[in-house]
Amino acid sequence: MKAFLALGLLLFSNLSFAAMSPTAAEYSMVAAEVGFKSNSVTATGSTSDNQVTGFQLGVSGVYNFSEKFGLKSGLFYVERPFSSDFGTSEVKGKVTYFEVPAFFMLKFEEYAGVYVGPSLGIKLGDELKPGSLTGIKAMVVPLTFGAQFKFLPNFGANVFFETIGGELATGVENSRAVGVNLMFALD
């Protein structure tokens, strides 16, 4: 766990200072991001599974391999809430993660592109009402597809779809989300 934290802090420092460094030519789209996503899961035995809005924030940047290709990475705090109905009762819960994405990005311009790839999510916390979650996975690997672009010199948007095949916890599986982040460009 300490190794992941150290790796995350190193990545954060690289992305945070990339825009300020005189040798920052290999970085682009360095930004602080905050946004929401509509999340749903499949709960074992539920009569229906509902979409719930989650929150996320972090920093990201693209390390450019060439003018058109790069690696989008960063650090994010991510919520994965869920709600399921079991007949006449409703169960609500949330698992929160610290995530480091590793997305392959195809850039159309210096300020726009599409990406696909995995993230490494490390569990920070969980909650369930009523009751408690069991068998919670300490690490998950979501697969994400998205696009990001600037619409003003210092502002942009990041829209995405993500999925996690498998369980988040016992009886809670197949997390899916569609979201949008507002980006505050630092470059």
Q: Give residue for tokens 């360095």.
A: 30
96 occurs within a structural domain: yes
Contact 69, 82 (CB under 8 A): no
pTM, 2 dp: 0.83
- The CATH number of whichever domain residue 173 belongs to comes to 2.40.160.20
45 inside domain = yes
Average pLDDT (171-179) is 94
**Residue 41 resides in a domain:** yes
Q: What is the pLDDT of residues 82-128, one digit of tens each?
A: 999 998 899 999 999 999 999 999 999 888 999 999 999 999 999 99
Q: What percent of the chain has pLDDT over 70?
A: 87
Distance CA 21, CA 139 (A): 33
Q: Which domain holds residue 83?
A: 2-15+25-185
* pLDDT above 70 (res 25): no
- Specify the number of domains making up the chain: 1
Q: Would you give the end-to-end CA distance of the chain in angstroms?
A: 31
3-state DSSP assignment of residue 136: coil
The Cα–Cα gap between 126 and 79 comes to 9
Express each pLDDT in 36-72 by its tens digit.
999 999 999 899 999 999 999 999 999 999 989 999 9
Residue 161 lies in a domain: yes
pLDDT at 14 exceeding the cut of 70: no
Q: Is the pLDDT of residue 18 over 70?
A: no
